[in-house]
Structure 1
Amino acid sequence: MNTTFFASVAATGFAVAFLHAALPTHWLPFVLVGRAQRWTTGRTLGVTLLAGLGHVGLTILLGLAVVAAGLVAQPHLGDSFHWIVGGLMAAIGVFYLVRGRHRHATMDGTRKFASDKAAITALVVLLTLSPCEAFLPYYLAGMEHGVVGFVVLSAVLMTATAAGMLVFTGLSLAGFNRLGLERLEQYEELILGAALIVIGAAVAFLKT
Structure 2
Amino acid sequence: MNAIIIGSLLISLLHAVIPNHWLPVLAIARKEKWPLSQTMRVTFIAGVSHVISTVAIGVVLGFVGAELMDSIEQFTRIVAPSILVLLGFYFISQHYRHHHFHIDKQQLQGKSKSRLIGSLVLAMFLSPCMEIEAYFLLAGAKSALLLLLIATMYAVISLGGMLIWVRLAYKGIIRMNWHALEHNAGIITGAILILTGLVSYFIG
Say whether the fold is shared (TM-score over 0.5): yes
Structure 1 position 69, deviation (Å): 1.8
Q: Matched residues in 2 for 1:176 and 1:27: separation?
A: 16
Which segment is superposed worse, 172-181 or 120-129?
172-181
Q: Matched residues in 2 for 1:160 and 1:137: separation?
A: 17
Structure 1 position 162, deviation (Å): 1.3
Residue 25 of structure 1 is matched in structure 2 by 20
**Conserved in 2, the CA contact under 8 Å of 1:30 and 1:109?**
no
Structure 1 residue corresponding to 2:111, chosen from 113, 118, 127 = 113
Structure 2 residue corresponding to 1:50, chosen from 36, 45, 49 = 45
Q: Matched residues in 2 for 1:106 and 1:15: separation?
A: 26
Structure 2 residue corresponding to 1:128, chosen from 125, 128, 150 = 125
Q: Aligned pair 1:172/2:169, yes or no?
A: yes
Which segment is superposed worse, 148-157 or 188-197?
148-157
**Conserved in 1, the CA contact under 8 Å of 2:9 and 2:153?**
yes
Residue 199 of structure 1 is matched in structure 2 by 196
Residue 138 of structure 1 is matched in structure 2 by 135
**Conserved in 2, the CA contact under 8 Å of 1:12 and 1:195?**
yes
Counterpart AA for 2:57: L
Give the 3-state SS of the residue equivalent to 1:142 in structure 2.
helix
Q: Percent identity?
A: 24
Q: 1:173 to 1:110 in 2, by over 3 A?
A: farther
**Conserved in 2, the CA contact under 8 Å of 1:9 and 1:141?**
yes
Say what the alpha-carbon RMSD is for the aligned residues: 2.0
Structure 2 residue corresponding to 1:88, chosen from 83, 86, 89 = 83
Q: Matched residues in 2 for 1:68 and 1:110: separation?
A: 36
Deviation string for 1:101-142 (max 9, x for gaps)? 43324221882432x211110111111110000001111232
Structure 1 position 185, deviation (Å): 1.0
Residue 154 of structure 1 is matched in structure 2 by 151
Q: 1:55 to 1:16 in 2, by over 3 A?
A: same
Structure 1 runs of 4+ off > 6 angstroms? none
Structure 1 position 153, deviation (Å): 0.5
Structure 1 position 84, deviation (Å): 0.2
Scaled by the length of structure 2, what TM-score is found? Answer: 0.89
Structure 1 position 78, deviation (Å): 0.7
Q: Aligned pair 1:76/2:71, yes or no?
A: yes
Structure 1 position 144, deviation (Å): 4.3
Structure 1 position 145, deviation (Å): 4.2
Q: Matched residues in 2 for 1:9 and 1:80: separation?
A: 14
Q: 1:28 to 1:206 in 2, by over 3 A?
A: same
Which segment is superposed worse, 147-156 or 186-195?
147-156
Q: Matched residues in 1 for 2:129 and 2:65: separation?
A: 19
Which ranges of structure 2 fall in alignment gaps of 5 or more residues?
Answer: none
Structure 1 position 176, deviation (Å): 4.7
Q: 1:80 to 1:24 in 2, by over 3 A?
A: closer
Q: Aligned pair 1:66/2:64, yes or no?
A: no
